[in-house]
A and B are shown apart, each in its own frame.
Chain A
Amino acid sequence: MEATAIKHSFTEKANRALGVNEKDAKLTLTYLSVAFIALLIGGVLGLLQGLERAGLLQLPSWLNYYQVLTAHGVLLVLIFTATFVVGYFYAGISHTMGGLIPKVRKMGWVAFGLMVIGVVFVVTTIVMGEASVLYTFYPPMAASPYFYIGLVFIVLGIWTSALGVFTNVMNWRKNNKGQHIPLLSYFAVGVFTLLFFGSLGVTYEVLTLIPWAFGWTETVNVMLSRTLFWSFGHTLVNIWYLTAVSAWYVAVPRIIGGRLFSDTLARVVVFLLVILNIPGGFHHQIVDPGFSEGLKFMHVFMSLSIGFPSLMTAFAMFAVFERAGRKKGGKGLLGWFKKLPFKDVRFLAPFIAMVAFIPAGAGGIAQTNNQLNQVVHNTLWVTGHFHLTVGTSVALTFFGIAYWLVPHMAKREFTPRMNRLGIIQTIIWTVGMLFMSGAMHTVGLFGSPRRTSYSTYGDNATALGWDPYLILLAIGGTLLIIAVVMMVYIVFYLMFKAPKGETEFPIGEPEDNAAPTPMWTERWGLWIILMLAVVAMGYVIPLVDLIVNAPPGSPPFKTW
């Protein structure tokens, strides 16, 4: 163990001496710039939706609610998250593996180029009103074929970035035989493995939609498309989550002056999430026709099993906090809690993210149970749920990362003023999400549907009863946009304006007496085989059924 500890501080010193690799920094900062611009635009659109839904604002005739909602979904769940994930992990690999190898850096740029081309196609078709199909683009609603072509470019970009990660890691392993890959890079391998395998199904879907949208093929298999979409959609959710968790395990212990909870446990959580994840997509289809009750029941287990590694994480986090707090002299049952650095936004933001994950995870477990899902499916409850998970747990962690990653890469200081501003930002975001998500959850239980512009359904009494909650939703949205603007300001200030200097890339170290991590955790080949086996268990029967017993397909419709 001694040896690894020494090794750790050695890489640490080497990094400090060499400093940030400037070429790698440029790549990451470019990705992060796009991420936060997407957040800004997406946030403004979110506010418009919030105000519209509350009946406070009427959108002009040239700006349709569903066009706005399509853009909001695509910008935030696809572009903001994807660009952040790539930028962050490329930085993580550069930092923990002694710089990106030049070939990989080039792949990073090619990936960026492909994504930009894709985004241009997608955004243009949305703005032209040719793709108001929401980010789920369920057929037989058909967008312009160029919308789907844009999606293909985005996927190609993602695959290229994944290939870059694998190339760099394999190169490092060749040069560091018999060693564990650094924990943060281990997370990166997990995330990009999921990104690659998780996007295979949706890519097939999109490739069938292109000729159909051009009119070259007549019909498309609607249920098959939907099922393939969710095999990806759900995996994407856990990709962000795993990315956020990487910062909880690796960076947060360092920021609070503690140590890793357990290097082994962190790696177990990573590969468990990779193995178990993909069939979870079925929980988006619990009230669909075409699948038997037995199959849906099996999938309850498939979805809930993903909860297990999350609960392991919950324990690990609080254990790290307690140890760090006690080391700083916290006494008694809860004295350690007060010793935590709540005035450091690099901790506060991910801490609130973790706390938000408690109700978010509980809600997730609840709505995966078939009969409870039937109560909330496609109501605003679900929208409330993912503004807690993605909008709070993931987004606040990403913000928490940005506070140190951006100045680290830009060779600038994270100033006390930015820290203060960051704390205010975090509080406003949290309160805004409490209002918005709380209102969405509640009114969803009463039956208010998601993805629906303001409607009283002909002054129906039930629908009118939802209005007060929708006003609360709009208030939350207004607070959120303030927080979005602050965050974007902070990021670009740290990138271009903060005083020159150094900011640490926080990497937690194991406890001095930690048991060495067993080598079997590195068996990626095995994890991938297990993952494919689980995917086969979850998907072979329903997919074969959907193909073999398919009804005649559907022609394209443009209903907006």
Chain B
Amino acid sequence: MKMHRFEEIWLVLAAGVIILSMVVTGYQTFALGMGPPSNKETIDPQKVDETAPFDEPGVYQIGENEYEVVMTLQIFSFNPGDIEIPAGSTVHFTMTSKDVVHGFQVAGTNLNAMVMPGHIQKITQKFDKPGEYLVLCNEYCGSGHQLMSTTITVK
């Protein structure tokens, strides 16, 4: 198969885009620790309330300017809700679902993760800018899905 000169250039560029994507994504994931939420712990989805740490959902300070939020998602709410944290804190979210599949998304940040029954999901975010952030469920979970929301207030 003989190729046209321009076609060769074009395909080299195409391969370049793919390689560049791999390099940037790989660098961000493995060097900067920005990989997508990928926690691999599991849990019995019918015993969430009895299993630590989800037997006591809540906001816990675990260091200076560092918090852990242990959260359960269930139709159609986040527990705990209406979270307040000081500006400049790093927050680690540890989440699972008590029923169907939910999504955890905080508008205006890069917090975005699927929360599945049987699996514990983790994601971290540093909140620098004060304000009220909208937390919402972004996976259809039933007739009240559009009501499933809460807020994080950064002061």
Instruction: With CB as the reference atom, state the residue of chain A lying closest to B109.
Output: A447
* Docked-complex contact B45 and A554, CB < 8 angstroms: yes
Chain B proximity of A205: nearest CB distance (Å): 14
A410 vs chain B, min Cβ distance (A): 39
Residues in B75-101 with C-beta less than 8 Å from chain A: 75, 99-101
Partner of A307, one of B14, B132, B134: B14
Q: Among residues 358 to 395 in chain A, which have CB atoms less than 8 Å away from a CB atom of chain B?
A: 365, 368-371, 373-375, 377-379
Note all chain B residues with C-beta closer than 8 A to A9: none
Given the interface pairs A141-B101, A287-B113, the reply to whether A552 lies near B149 with Cβ below 8 Å is no
Q: Could you tell me if B103 and A378 are in contact, using CB atoms closer than 8 angstroms?
A: yes
Interface size on A, residues (CB 8 A): 76
Which of B14, B39, B110, B120 contacts A375 (CB under 8 A)? B110
Query: A301 near B: Cβ within 8 Å?
Result: yes
Inter-chain CB contacts under 8 Å: number: 226
Q: Could you tell me if A551 and B10 are in contact, using CB atoms closer than 8 angstroms?
A: no
Give Cα A210 to B9, complex, Å.
Answer: 52
B61 lies within 8 A of chain A by Cβ: no
Q: Which residues of A sit under 8 angstroms from B14, Cβ to Cβ?
A: 307-308, 311-312
Query: Closest CB of chain B to A285's CB: distance in Å?
Result: 8
Q: In the complex, are the beta carbons of A297 and B26 less than 8 A apart? A: yes
- B101 to chain A: which residues have CB within 8 Å? 138, 140-141, 222, 226
Contact B100 A141 (CB under 8 A): yes
**Are A554 and B117 interface neighbours, CB within 8 A?**
yes
Known contacts A447-B134, A453-B146; A370/B17 CB under 8 A: no
Please tell me which stretch of A154-162, A336-344, A455-463 contacts chain B, meaning at least 4 of its Cβ atoms lie within 8 angstroms of it.
A455-463
User: Contact at A374–B147, with CB atoms within 8 Å?
Assistant: no
- B83, chain A: closest CB distance, angstroms: 15
Which chain A positions have C-beta within 8 A of B113?
287, 289, 374
Give B94-153 interface residues, CB cut-off 8 Å to A. 99-101, 103, 105-108, 110, 112-121, 132-134, 136-147, 149, 151
- The residues of A that contact B65 with a CB separation of less than 8 Å are none
- Closest chain A residue to B96, Cβ basis: A289
- Chain A positions within 8 Å of B52 at CB level: none
Contact A551 B45 (CB under 8 A): yes
A451 contacts B140, C-beta separation under 8 Å: yes
Question: Is the beta-carbon distance between B151 and A460 smaller than 8 angstroms?
Answer: yes
The verdict on B34 contacting chain A, using a C-beta distance below 8 Å, is: yes
Docked Cα-Cα span, A368 to B17, in Å, equals 13
- Residue of A with least CB distance to B114: A288
Instruction: Please determine whether B100 and A140 come into contact, CB atoms closer than 8 angstroms.
Output: yes
**Nearest 7 interchain pairs by C-beta:** A559-B142, A447-B107, A551-B42, A551-B118, A455-B146, A449-B138, A311-B14
Residues of B bordering A, CB below 8 Å = 1-2, 4, 6-7, 10-11, 14-15, 17-18, 21-22, 24-26, 28-30, 34-40, 42-46, 75, 99-101, 103, 105-108, 110, 112-121, 132-134, 136-147, 149, 151
